[in-house]
Amino acid sequence: MTTTEFPSVGEHFDVVIAGGGPVGLALAAELRLHGVTTLVLERGPRGVGEPRVLALHARTLETLDRRGLLAEFTRAEESLPDLDAWRGQLDDHGARGHFAGLHQLGRHTAEPAEQPRGLTLPHQVLKDLLAGRAEDLGAVVRHEHEVTGLEQDADGVTVRVRTADGDAAVRADFLVGCDGGRSAVRKDAGIDFPGTGPSLVSRMGRGTVEVHGDGELPGGWRRSDGGWFMRMADGRIAVIEWHEPADVEDAATGDELAAAIERVTGQRVTLTDVDFVNRFTDSARQAGRYRAGRVLLAGDAAHIHFPAGGQGVNLGLQDAFNLGWKLAAQCRGWAPDGLLDSYHAERHPVAAEVLDNTRAQVALMRPGPQVDALRALFSRLLGMEEVNKHLSDVIYGTGIRYDALPAAAGGPPGPGGHPRVGTFARDLPVTTANGPTRLAELLRPGRPLLLCFDGSGADGALKAAAGWADRVTIVAATAPDPLAAALLVRPDGYLAWASDGPVTEEGLRAALRAWCGAEGAAS
């Protein structure tokens, strides 16, 4: 497609985001914290979300706390009419979550999570919360606006948009595709999407169920020779069968779901007053690259997988938190060389591991006596502290560590850095000149945070860092149990640099240049 085929450009934004789901809206809010002009284009109407209930895991909740959003999200969950039923179902399993339907995660005692339990929110509620945040910060969100094409050059991207009034075009310095597994942005940017095709089909719906005969449908999760039957606390029913779906483009129906229920449970049922029915598979694919020039991908546009363990929305939101501050730095003119490319370098391996663990879960969920034996063995392994912690960290994202990248790729300079670098900086109480606070609260502006504690040579460190005060929150503090003598914490909460002893001016300046650009470089 050539630029002459595009309508005339009417507006310019620093960043256009294709897709107004949770990932696109979270990214918009992150960009607006830095004053980046942001337009979100969503093809669906306002107030219409997917009929899904989403689990927010520990690492996502920790990040929301660092943006001051955790209390609002918690109140939203507490207002749900089905909350007691959901919690009762979780309590019955005695665990925080599952791996392949084995509800044993979170039973370890080592290193308890900062957020000990997850939150459960309907898709639309999550969208509303994040849309409110993005729009309050000044993002422009337009519904019934679908991105249908793009043309990029050295200076930016021209974006074709389909609206009720016809085609239009906007101009952006960067375009981010958050437009789902069938992303038009990914396809137009020429980014490949390799992976594995479907081996199963899952059908999910909600309606009034009438069981014919004397039998009844069980609650909770049940595995049989025919597949899986799941009945959730909010009335949703799901069935998993191991065969390739036919006619995947056709809309799923209540009769189709009822027939699947009978095949798996042996109970003949009728579904009436059907709220929704959908169909999905275990296709697992990942974009070969998350950036092509001025086009980037996040969320399902970058990776799709079977929703085992409820990892998808968490993976996408963490994409947004990783990308947001880096893209903002690029737009504001202070990003060091390689910082924006570190988004792919850090997030692509994380998603690849999620695809692998969901493939493993699908294999462990299959019917059959061989898998029965494997599940029994795996259940015993989950009773081991180290195994339980490892798989809990995998599912909840709490085991992520970003390996220190060389300075040219946006990371700290030189080998032999502090052992905590690349890990998530746990919350801790601190006292500053303004009184008691927490590390999490100091990250709420979305800026890098330099914390210098007693014994670090704080006065000299603060003086050395003064040239970055336009983009870094610089604080002298005391703490009962600091992680190190001095910390440089990235806006997404991960530790960029640390020092256990008195800070050398040379070492601190090198770290600030590596992560936060040259002195006085912000626009």
**CATH number (domain holding residue 381):** 3.50.50.60
Whether the predicted pLDDT of 137 surpasses 50: yes
Same domain? For 414 and 364 the reply is: no
User: What pLDDT sits at residue 416?
Assistant: 52
User: What pLDDT sits at residue 47?
Assistant: 83
Structural domain including 436 reads 407-516
**409 torsion bin: left (phi>0), alpha (psi -120 to 50), beta (else):** alpha
Same domain? For 334 and 383 the reply is: yes
User: What pLDDT sits at residue 32?
Assistant: 98
Domain of 424, CATH number, reads: 3.40.30.120
Whether the predicted pLDDT of 124 surpasses 90: yes
User: What pLDDT sits at residue 407?
Assistant: 46
Tell me which of 342 and 218 has the higher pLDDT: 342
- Unique residue bearing structure tokens 């719906």: 205
Which of 281, 305, 332 finishes a domain?
281
- Kindly state whether residue 84 falls inside one of the protein's structural domains: yes
- Kindly state whether residue 457 falls inside one of the protein's structural domains: yes
- Kindly state whether residue 226 falls inside one of the protein's structural domains: yes
Same domain? For 381 and 236 the reply is: no
Q: How confident is the model at residue 5 (pLDDT cuts 50, 70, 90)?
A: low
Which of 265, 281, 297 finishes a domain?
281
Same domain? For 322 and 188 the reply is: yes
Of the listed ranges 15-24, 208-217, 388-397, 493-502, the least confidently predicted one is 208-217
Mean pLDDT of 409-436: 79
Do 318 and 63 form a contact (C-beta atoms < 8 A)? yes
Same domain? For 165 and 36 the reply is: yes
User: What pLDDT sits at residue 93?
Assistant: 46
User: What pLDDT sits at residue 505?
Assistant: 87
The structural domain count of the chain equals 3
Domain of 261, CATH number, reads: 3.30.70.2450
User: What pLDDT sits at residue 87?
Assistant: 55
Of the listed ranges 181-185, 277-281, 295-299, 355-359, the least confidently predicted one is 277-281
Q: Give the span between the Cα atoms of 289 and 452, in whole angstroms.
A: 37
User: What pLDDT sits at residue 408?
Assistant: 41
Q: How confident is the model at residue 386 (pLDDT cuts 50, 70, 90)?
A: very high
Q: Give the span between the Cα atoms of 409 and 337, in whole angstroms.
A: 7
Provide the 10 A C-beta neighbour count for residue 166.
8
The 10s digit of each residue's pLDDT in 51-97 is 888 999 999 999 999 999 999 999 999 998 866 665 555 444 444 68
The 10s digit of each residue's pLDDT in 443-489 is 999 999 999 987 667 788 888 899 999 999 999 999 998 888 899 99
- Kindly state whether residue 401 falls inside one of the protein's structural domains: no
Tell me which of 118 and 323 has the higher pLDDT: 323
Give alpha helix (H) positions in 42-113. 58-65, 70-78, 83-93
Same domain? For 293 and 360 the reply is: yes
Q: Comparing C-alpha atoms, which of 468, 481, 391 is closest to residue 431?
A: 481
Same domain? For 235 and 94 the reply is: no
Using DSSP, state whether 484 is helix, strand or coil: coil
Same domain? For 245 and 186 the reply is: no
- Kindly state whether residue 29 falls inside one of the protein's structural domains: yes
User: What pLDDT sits at residue 220?
Assistant: 85
The 10s digit of each residue's pLDDT in 332-363 is 999 999 999 999 999 999 999 999 999 999 99
Query: For the chain, what percent of residues have pLDDT higher than 70?
Result: 91
User: What pLDDT sits at residue 112?
Assistant: 73
Same domain? For 441 and 484 the reply is: yes
Which of 261, 281, 301 finishes a domain?
281
Same domain? For 38 and 93 the reply is: yes
Query: For the chain, what percent of residues have pLDDT higher than 90?
Result: 75
Q: How confident is the model at residue 503 (pLDDT cuts 50, 70, 90)?
A: confident
User: What pLDDT sits at residue 247?
Assistant: 61
User: What pLDDT sits at residue 138?
Assistant: 98
Same domain? For 241 and 335 the reply is: no
- Kindly state whether residue 522 falls inside one of the protein's structural domains: no
Mean pLDDT of 196-207: 94
- Kindly state whether residue 402 falls inside one of the protein's structural domains: no
Residues 6+ apart with CB under 8 A from 4: none
- Kindly state whether residue 523 falls inside one of the protein's structural domains: no
Whether the predicted pLDDT of 320 surpasses 80: yes
Do 268 and 212 form a contact (C-beta atoms < 8 A)? yes
- Chain-wide mean pLDDT for the chain? 90
Q: Comparing C-alpha atoms, which of 351, 335, 378 is closest to residue 287?
A: 351
Same domain? For 384 and 422 the reply is: no
